[in-house]
Amino acid sequence: MKKFKLLNLSIVFVLLIQFGFGQIKVSEEIQPSQIALGDSSKLYLVDFWATWCGPCVHAKKYLTALQKQIPNDFYVVSLTEESPDVVRKFLKRKPSDLAIAIDYDRETFKKYNIRSLPESKLFNAQGELLWEGHPSNLSASDIKRFQGRNSSRIAVKEFIKIEAYKKEKISETIYEPGDDFEILDSKRSSGILEVKKQSDYTSYEGDLESILAFLLNAGNDQINLDPIVQNKFYILNVMNDSRKNKNLVKHILRNLKLKLESSSQKGEAIVLKAETPKFWDTNQIDWGKNNPKYLIDDAQIQADNVSFEEITYRLANLTRLPVIAEASDYKSLHDWQIHYKYYKLMQSDLLDNFGIVTEKKHLEYPVYSIQKKTP
């Protein structure tokens, strides 16, 4: 009798492993795989990505080829923390045959501590992590080797568990900073810099490098953090009428006990002149209030209600070149659609659509070193 009970407990434990632990949670499935065969698999690759992440789009092409090469016992699901509306709009422009799902409450992103994109993790049917890293580093021979070592299978619908995300009703209470300037730790661990202009204050949320680069009118490549300086995510709130707006960088550095040293470097840079611009208004693109302001793929950037100041920062990071801008209208909000991958097309888009003259020049541009203050 005791042996019978022990056997039953063992069976229950195996079932718990297979159907309880061997799963990832998503809040919505945008589409199932159009390539993978069968309704169960031995291996599952979770591809963490975002529509604004150019390298993610390249990685997705590679994973599509990999999924076509191995359609059996291998299932790729691309998971993003963005809103379903943004993802569907992106897929209309850039269709994919991979499974696409939403992790809108970030449960799976947080569970696996996703800090940079693209990132992939390979699991077996029991939910054991077999491999992790940049998706392009996983080869077909790696997958076939893992297939040979793992015989158990689990149904797709059991491994990818959909738990509908219900938005809580948000009160109409408007947040007000506790002071005219505050810098807070952010709960985010990935994603691009967000700049939100409110009626009374402006909020910047992103990692330290990105916030400083933006405020210094530089690209991230022009910021060098000392190895002992943590590139943490922060929320910076500053009242629009605060005197500290004149030198926000100084106040950030003082608050975080850091110091900045500037120097110059010679090299190629992009110069944008918008002396008599014909910027779009804010009615060309409308993605709603709670959606991201950007759609960035491997060739084009679209933006909804974004300043020229922000666009120059994005272009610096997308082209990996310093961008020097001269404009009569730098802060007001506009909609944008710009090709950035090929310089000639970007030059044409900026001139024809927005009246911005673009030149590549060899010149001196600033670079910044951020260090800890000595006690």
Q: Count of CB atoms within 10 A of residue 257's CB?
A: 10
Lowest mean pLDDT among 105-114, 127-136, 225-234: 105-114
H-type alpha helices, 203-307? 208-215, 248-256
- The confidence score (pLDDT) of residue 172 equals 44
Going by C-alpha positions, the residue among 112, 107, 126, 122 that lies closest to residue 16 is 126
What is this structure's pTM? 0.60
Reported confidence tier of residue 168, pLDDT bands at 50, 70, 90: very low
- The percent of residues in the chain predicted with pLDDT above 90, rounded, is 60
Residue located via tokens 């569970």: 111
Task: Give the DSSP letter of residue 305.
Answer: E
H-type alpha helices, the chain? 2-16, 54-69, 84-93, 107-111, 140-149, 156-159, 208-215, 248-256, 308-319, 343-354
Cis ω before 118 (30° cut-off from 0)? yes
Reported confidence tier of residue 285, pLDDT bands at 50, 70, 90: confident
Largest CA-CA distance found in the chain, in angstroms, rounded: 89
The whole-angstrom separation of Cα 273 and Cα 65 is 42
At residue 266, the 3 state secondary structure works out as strand
Reported confidence tier of residue 226, pLDDT bands at 50, 70, 90: very high
Strand order in the sheet with 300-307: 294-296, 300-307, 333-339
Lowest mean pLDDT among 96-105, 139-148, 187-196, 237-246: 187-196
At residue 5, the 3 state secondary structure works out as helix
The whole-angstrom separation of Cα 356 and Cα 315 is 13
- The confidence score (pLDDT) of residue 302 equals 85
Is residue 332 exposed (0-12), middle (13-18) or buried (19+ Cβ within 10 Å)?
exposed
At residue 279, the 3 state secondary structure works out as coil
Asked if the model's pLDDT at residue 245 lies above 50, the reply is yes
C-beta of residue 14 within 8 angstroms of C-beta of residue 77: no
The whole-angstrom separation of Cα 244 and Cα 233 is 21
Reported confidence tier of residue 22, pLDDT bands at 50, 70, 90: low
Asked if the model's pLDDT at residue 166 lies above 60, the reply is no
> Who's near 111: CB < 8 A, 6+ residues apart?
none
- The confidence score (pLDDT) of residue 83 equals 82
Which domains occur in the chain, in start order?
Answer: 15-162 (3.40.30.10), 181-372 (no CATH)
- Tell me which long-range contacts 13-18 makes (C-beta under 8 A, separation of at least 24): 17/126, 17/127, 18/125, 18/126, 18/152, 18/154, 18/158
- The confidence score (pLDDT) of residue 143 equals 96
The residue ranking higher by pLDDT, 15 or 59, is 59
Asked if the model's pLDDT at residue 125 lies above 70, the reply is yes
**pLDDT tens digits for range 60-90:** 999 999 999 999 999 999 999 888 888 888 8
Reported confidence tier of residue 231, pLDDT bands at 50, 70, 90: very high
- The confidence score (pLDDT) of residue 238 equals 92
Asked if the model's pLDDT at residue 16 lies above 90, the reply is no
Q: For the chain, what is the mean pLDDT?
A: 86
The tokens for 73 are 């016992």
- The confidence score (pLDDT) of residue 169 equals 41
The whole-angstrom separation of Cα 307 and Cα 100 is 31
Distances, alpha carbon 40 to alpha carbons 74, 124, 152, in Å: 9, 12, 10
The whole-angstrom separation of Cα 289 and Cα 304 is 10
C-beta of residue 349 within 8 angstroms of C-beta of residue 315: no
Lowest mean pLDDT among 103-117, 129-143, 247-261: 103-117
Reported confidence tier of residue 257, pLDDT bands at 50, 70, 90: very high
Reported confidence tier of residue 14, pLDDT bands at 50, 70, 90: very low
Asked if the model's pLDDT at residue 227 lies above 60, the reply is yes
Asked if the model's pLDDT at residue 174 lies above 50, the reply is yes
Q: Which residues of 279-309 are buried (b: 16+ CB within 10 A; e: fewer)?
A: beeeeebebeeebbbbbbbbebbbbbbbbbb
